Amino acid sequence: MNDPMNPMAVVVDTSRSPYARLRPVPLTAVTLTDPFWAPRRNLNRQVTLPTQYRLLEETGRLDNFRRAAGQTDLPFQGHCYNDSDVYKWLEAVAWTLATGPDPHLSDMADTAIGLIAAAQQPDGYLNTYFARERAAERWTNLRDMHELYCAGHLIQAAVAHHRATGNDRLLQIARRLADHLCNLFAQRPATPGHPEIEMALVELSRETGEMKYRRQAQQFLDHRGRGLISGREYYQDHRPFREMERLVGHAVRALYLCAGATDLYAETGEPALRVALDRLWTHLTARQTYLSGGLGSRHEGEALGQDYELPNGRAYAETCAAIASVMWNWRLLMLEGQARYADAMETALYNAFLAGISLDGQAYFYDNPLADDGSHRRQPWFDCACCPPNIARLLASLPGYFYSLSSEGVWVHLYAENRAQMPWTDGRTICLAQHSRYPWDGAITIQVEGEGVFSLFLRIPAWCEEGASLDLNGQPLPGPLTPGRYVEIRRDWRPGDAVHLELPMPVCRIECHPYVAENSGRVALKRGPLLYCVEGADHPGLDLRDLLLPAGESLAAEFHPELLGGVVALHGLARLVPPDDGWQGRLYRTVPSRSPGSSPGYAHNVTAIPYYAWANRQPGPMAVWLRSEA
């Protein structure tokens, strides 16, 4: 168990996992000071978390615990899974407290923990929906009623709180509930309708050393696909996990399931699990993932669609699915240190995830389309409010994703201005200071403020397809810098050594696989890790569907400190090609003859902004994929 005087507040603890090559660094080891993420995390602490606590009160989620404890006679309020919103909020607070005290947040957390403790039953059971008059219905519908899902989020919050504060009050509550689950399901075939409990139980096993929790997680995974929860694809119950060829059904459930299976592989090394995980990840990223890193193409069932089914305006791409993608890719990254997982994680973080919260930290997207007519706007809360506290917990835990350690040395996964003090295996502390304006600029300097022999592994992002350069103390380092790989620098380091990595950031036009019919003849714009879009606020009175990017026309990148909190925007010339007069009153017509090489339309200035920042100004249309000349 972690020493309360030296909390190892890590996101996922693979430090003792025998089949994971990398291990996370303590969350407290990394201090983000960059102008991109640090203000967002401060906003999370000062605005988002207090606002969410107020909404937990106003919407009755905390009153549900008071009701279960017999402190009020109010009726249960909301959905059967509303407890999970409180638990995710608590986890976010825990990670926030790990990186600095906050009496106000601590008081709110203590109040919530007190209510949770009062609501727990003598046998360890804890779920406010099944309190009082519904007590006889407990555990009778694992498919739909989210009891195990809520339990999983409580356990994750408890582990985070214990690691961050050293206080085991919430952890003891979670252990009593987990013991209750193990006593009930150890000999009962069962699996949850909404995965989450699997990774929670593995993490609880890591925290406590109690193997029965991991065994129970294994049983839940092993019983999936046997028809215990209907046998439907929606629940990933259509076949056993190890036999799945592709991910189907509800996107968040599918990704949480994969994250839990990855945790189990890290503990057991079961070959069949690893084969399945590789197969599912490869298929997902090659055929089912949006350019933003978003996942889930269908509103119906919040589901992953068929191969290459990636509509733009109808994209669901739930914010929670982007968060689940980060969680799964992080676990896969810990297994072998393959840069492709860090690339996927970075894409989701800067685009699909970050679009889910407004620049003021008080409104959210549940779904994230890649085209819109101006009607889709962020909301301050939702009846089903899974996304807001999920966003808060990822922002709070973000420093833990930047670095990892292995027997060889330090792995740098993400880039931003920060300082890190990382305990290494031989008792030494490796200190790094990273200087960068990333993601606006690809110039990165890492100063080593320590000494000794170890390797520094730097990720060359897959988006940096050519021109990356690396030098040490001003001297170029030989060897290839391969996009989508880590480059290793091993030496006897001395204080003051400085590594400079240069990642050119040209504006790139991205085309889509031809089987994605909606994007035929269209391109999207990317610069570095950021996806761009055009928005009506920058093109008043213009129908964005009329924009056509000429072949060979370059776009310039320019930093605007006053725009959308400070962004690099793209500027250039496009053509306006509205429908000609022959379309008046018609939906179809015979293709008219055209002169070869004709260039219709007329020039128009175009501005593109980072996709994450759209819908923060007046309502208007938005588009990621733009018409383009061949």
pLDDT digits (tens, 9 = 90+) for 159-210: 999 999 999 999 999 999 999 999 999 999 999 999 999 999 999 999 999 9
Model pLDDT, residue 595: 63
Under 8 Å between Cβ of 409 and 489: no
Model pLDDT, residue 594: 67
- Hey, what are 547's tokens? 């924009």
How far apart, in whole angstroms, are the C-alpha atoms of residue 543 and residue 570?
19
Run of H or E residues at 175: helix 169-185
Model pLDDT, residue 2: 42
What is the rounded average pLDDT of the residues 594-618? Answer: 84
Under 8 Å between Cβ of 234 and 303: yes
- Look at strands 498-502 and 469-472 and give their pairing: antiparallel
What is the rounded average pLDDT of the residues 27-34? Answer: 95
In one letter, which amino acid is 555? L
Under 8 Å between Cβ of 434 and 445: yes
* Alpha carbons within 13 A on the beta-carbon side of 261: 28
- Hey, what are 161's tokens? 């709180």
- Hey, what are 281's tokens? 């990840």
Helices (H), 506-618: none
Q: Is the pLDDT of residue 322 over 80?
A: yes
Q: Which residues pair with 627 in a beta bridge?
A: 522, 548
Residues annotated catalytic, as ranges: 302, 386
How far apart, in whole angstroms, are the C-alpha atoms of residue 625 and residue 630?
14
Q: Evaluate the CA torsion angle 385, 37, 456, 163 in order and state its sign.
A: negative
Under 8 Å between Cβ of 386 and 356: no
How far apart, in whole angstroms, are the C-alpha atoms of residue 431 and residue 454?
12
- Hey, what are 372's tokens? 């819109």
**Non-local CB neighbours of 242 within 8 Å, separated by 6+ positions:** 272, 273, 275, 276
Q: Is the pLDDT of residue 599 over 60?
A: no
Run of H or E residues at 341: helix 339-347
Average predicted confidence (pLDDT) for the chain: 95
Cβ count within 10 A of residue 561: 8
Q: Is the pLDDT of residue 499 over 90?
A: yes
261-304: pLDDT as tens digits: 999 999 999 999 999 999 999 999 999 999 999 999 999 999 99
Model pLDDT, residue 15: 87
How far apart, in whole angstroms, are the C-alpha atoms of residue 506 and residue 294?
23
How far apart, in whole angstroms, are the C-alpha atoms of residue 130 and residue 114?
19
428-484: pLDDT as tens digits: 899 999 999 999 999 999 999 888 999 999 999 999 998 999 999 999 998 889 999
Model pLDDT, residue 287: 98
Region label for 117, one of left (φ > 0), alpha (ψ between -120 and 50) or beta (otherwise): alpha
Weakest mean pLDDT among 64-73, 223-232, 489-498, 600-609: 600-609
Model pLDDT, residue 424: 83
Q: How far is CA 101 from CA 160, 358, 491, 566, in A?
A: 15, 25, 38, 29
**Is cis: bond before 504, omega within 30 of 0?**
no
Model pLDDT, residue 600: 65
* Percent of the chain clearing pLDDT 90 (strictly above): 92
Task: Output b/e per residue, 12-32; b: 16+ Cβ within 10 A.
Answer: bbbbebebbbbbbbbbbbbeb
- Hey, what are 277's tokens? 């995980």
